[in-house]
Copies of this chain bind each other. A is one copy, B any other.
């Protein structure tokens, strides 16, 4: 089986390196970071931290080099999806493509370019610490399911989930993957931008009663939008917020959006609060707080 990871940043690398430990899987990585690609080809792709893994991965900055693949795993930042999938779609003409990205709306973008799409949500996290080397910060589960509008066959979803699990990334195949995805997007949209706008870590956001209430307001609006689509969340995002605020979990964690703001990189807010507000608009569910937060973060981006 041949798998190509599209966007071999922190999360993409976790999939690529772990899958590459399997004898029956050939792993390719498409990424535009030349140094990272060269290091992977020279020394292998190395994970440290929550797991020590070095995987033999064939990396390239040239999409034309990708062979015909059984599966794609898209792990770019959400705003780069369209360009990355347009460039690599030829490799998936006979395959299925999963997204494990943050936010909502990514499957719709994949479906513009490829035939068989897998909706995915993943919790593991890390960061690139040197070319070819990724620190694996947090282990966690992944959920995959057919994307309703352009579904991959369920047995193919199961086949990819099985390979990921065997490779060291516990993954479940489910008929409806929207519940875990909306739980995660609601969690992210309710907490990441509050860190990004205030400069506070996750734990400190939760300690400010007015900010914690604001997070709950964002959760409530997000739940209403999920509910209007008949999506049953697999757990309450509120629990995840309080759990993550514990000192031993992610009290000191700077949300990825805060990291983006500090580095003056475009954020994923369009796919988090903007995504929820967009679905809300189409469904007639009011999301004034997500709209406010979205406008403020876009304003921050405009100030650079």
Contacts and interface: CB of A to CB of B under 8 A. Distances in A.
A281 to B, nearest CB: 13
Given A199-B300, A296-B198, A291 B204 contact: no
B295 A210 contact: yes
Nearest to A212: B295
A210 B277 CA distance: 13
B303 A198 contact: yes
A53 to B, nearest CB: 36
A263 interface: no
How many copies of this chain sit in the oligomeric assembly? 2
A294 B291 CA distance: 16
Interface in A195-231: 197-200, 204-205, 208, 210-211, 213-214, 217
Interface residues of A, number: 26
A139 to B, nearest CB: 29
A225 B288 CA distance: 19
Interface in A247-304: 288-289, 291-296, 298-300, 302-303
Nearest to A205: B299
A194 interface: yes
Contact of A288 (B208, B211, B289, B293): B289
A197 B289 contact: no
A205 B303 CA distance: 9
The residue among A197, A291, A296, A298 with the most chain B CB atoms within 10 A of its own CB is: A296
The residue among A205, A214, A293 with the most chain B CB atoms within 10 A of its own CB is: A214
Interface of A: 194, 197-200, 204-205, 208, 210-211, 213-214, 217, 288-289, 291-296, 298-300, 302-303
